[in-house]
Every structure is written in structure tokens, then in C-alpha cells.
Amino acid sequence: MIAKPARRVPSSQDDTRNKILKAAIKIFSDHGYERATVREICRCAGVNLALVNYHFGDKMELYLAVVRYAIDADAKTELMDHALEENADPCDALRQIIRAVLERLSATREQFGLQLRFVLKEMANPTPALAGVVEESLRPLYDRLRSLVGEILNLPPNHDTTRLCTHSVMGQVAHYSHAQPVLCQLWPKMKMSPKQREMVANHIADFSLAYLRAARVRPATKSAEM
């Protein structure tokens, strides 16, 4: 199922739309798609039922919007665009993307725990919404990151090594964001302060680039080809 494009709304109505999304992510996380009701979401958001219909159309479109909101793919795509525009060197671009995504996750920390719970619930019990959002939002982001990693490795984006390395970079960033409550227990001094976030981002970049550069496939020389 391919999701319909989100409706354009005037900027003055963004607060209402976000209020509905924040209420919806809580209700869907608590009850799942089937048991959650639009009426309960409206009550939680403190808005009229007509506003949900105006901004989202129906329950499934609202759920699709919540999945996009939880995954935050649009913001991450914008971060990647900015990094690629600023850096001719793919290694520098990857370093900036890692730093920017960690900062983005920290900026939304207050809502992040609820977003993570919602995403995990969706992954454990996927609805028809997941396939559409993956194709619409996540795959373009994933494909561009693979292309960047492949450029560093001098390998095609579809090569197994390119995919494995891409997943490794993604996994490291996800670990420091998703596992923060556990990390605080294992490493009490790790509070993900701005200075610590910079340290973590540099470590992930240095760690990843060390392997990517070592594994880089050198172009065949003319003598090797003869």
C-alpha cells in the first residue's frame, strides 16, 4: 500500500497538526492500530474530530502520518542533502551526516522514547502502513546512504560489502540513541551532553572510516589488466 502525499496545511495550523500527531502516537503506542480510536485521539489532543478529518482524512492516513513522524525520515533526508551539498569528499560528508543525525535525535529526545516505542510496536506487528512508508520515505534515504558508502569503498551500492558497511554505520548511530537508558546504567558519566555527542559522533566516524578506507577497492591498473 503506497501512502498518499501528506496534505499541505497553512503554517498557522502546524501546531494543531503536531498536537494531533503527538496524541496519536501515544494512543497508537498504547492500544495498537485496531483498538485505538480517532475519538480517543481527539480527546487526548483536545481538538474537534473535524480537525483530524481536515488534516489527515481518515484513521489510516493519520496512522501513516504518525509512522512518518516517528521515523523522522524527512528531517534526516534534509540533513543528508545539506551534508552532500557542503562536502565534495564523501568521507567528510559521511562524518557530517553522522554528527547531524545524532544531534537531530538528541533535539527530539523528549518525544523520542515514545517514538521509539511506537516504531518497535509497528516492527513487531506491522500494519499495511509500514510497507508504504518504507518505500516512500526510508528506502530513498537508505539508497543514498548506500551510494555514499559505496563511493568511499569504490564498490556499487548493491554490493554486499556496501550494504553491510551501511548497516554498520546505521547500527552505531542507532545504538547511542536507542540504548541511551541502558548506556546510562553501564556508563553513568555518559549523559550525551553536547561535548559527549561530539565525542561519540567523531568516534563513530573515525571507527567507520578506518574500515571503509582499508576495505576500499583500488581501481585496476593497466599492468594488472594486461
**pLDDT tens digits for range 114-127:** 777 788 788 888 88
Do 109 and 26 lie in one domain? The reply is no
3-state secondary structure the chain: CCCCCCCCCCHHHHHHHHHHHHHHHHHHHHHHHHHCCHHHHHHHHCCCHHHHHHHHCCHHHHHHHHHHHHHCHHHHHHHHHHHHHHCCCHHHHHHHHHHHHHHHHHHCHHHHHHHHHHHHHHHHCCCHHHHHHHHHHHHHHHHHHHHHHHHHHCCCCCCHHHHHHHHHHHHHHHHHHHCHHHHHHHCCCCCCCHHHHHHHHHHHHHHHHHHHHHHCCCCCCHHHHC
Do 107 and 29 lie in one domain? The reply is no
Q: Is residue 61 part of a domain?
A: yes
Which CATH number is 177's domain given?
1.10.357.10
Do 87 and 101 lie in one domain? The reply is yes
The type of residue at 93 is A
Q: Is residue 4 part of a domain?
A: no
Which CATH number is 66's domain given?
1.10.10.60
pLDDT, one tens digit per residue, over 16-30 is 999 999 999 999 988
Q: Is residue 107 part of a domain?
A: yes
Do 136 and 124 lie in one domain? The reply is yes
**Whole-model pTM over 0.95:** no
pLDDT, one tens digit per residue, over 67-96 is 888 888 778 888 898 998 999 999 999 999
Do 83 and 171 lie in one domain? The reply is yes
pLDDT value of residue 187: 95
Q: Is residue 225 part of a domain?
A: no
Do 145 and 211 lie in one domain? The reply is yes
Q: Is residue 167 part of a domain?
A: yes
Do 85 and 54 lie in one domain? The reply is no
Residue 178 to residue 174: CA distance in whole angstroms: 6
Do 64 and 77 lie in one domain? The reply is no
Do 87 and 48 lie in one domain? The reply is no
- Domain span holding position 89: 72-217
Q: Is residue 5 part of a domain?
A: no
pLDDT value of residue 108: 58
Q: Is residue 165 part of a domain?
A: yes
**Which of 106-110, 112-116, 164-168 shows the highest mean pLDDT?**
164-168
Do 208 and 97 lie in one domain? The reply is yes
